[in-house]
Amino acid sequence: MSDVCLKTTKDDQYVQAIWEKNVEMMVNNLKNYVTDIVSHIEGKYYKMVEK
């Protein structure tokens, strides 16, 4: 009985670790994406200002 509980807990921790890693990656991707868009817009803006 205790073996089953132990295994479930281990699996849950494993799943949670993977899930947290995925969320971390998604957040980083989103940050990079936003940074790219912002720098792209800034680049266009500066070109317009220079003209």
* pTM (whole model) above 0.85: no
Sign of CA dihedral 26, 27, 29, 30: positive
Residue-level pLDDT at 34: 96
Residue-level pLDDT at 50: 74
Whole-angstrom distance, CA of residue 17 vs CA of residue 31: 21
Residue-level pLDDT at 2: 57
Residue-level pLDDT at 6: 63
Give the residue ranges of the chain where pLDDT is below 50: 1
Residue-level pLDDT at 11: 85
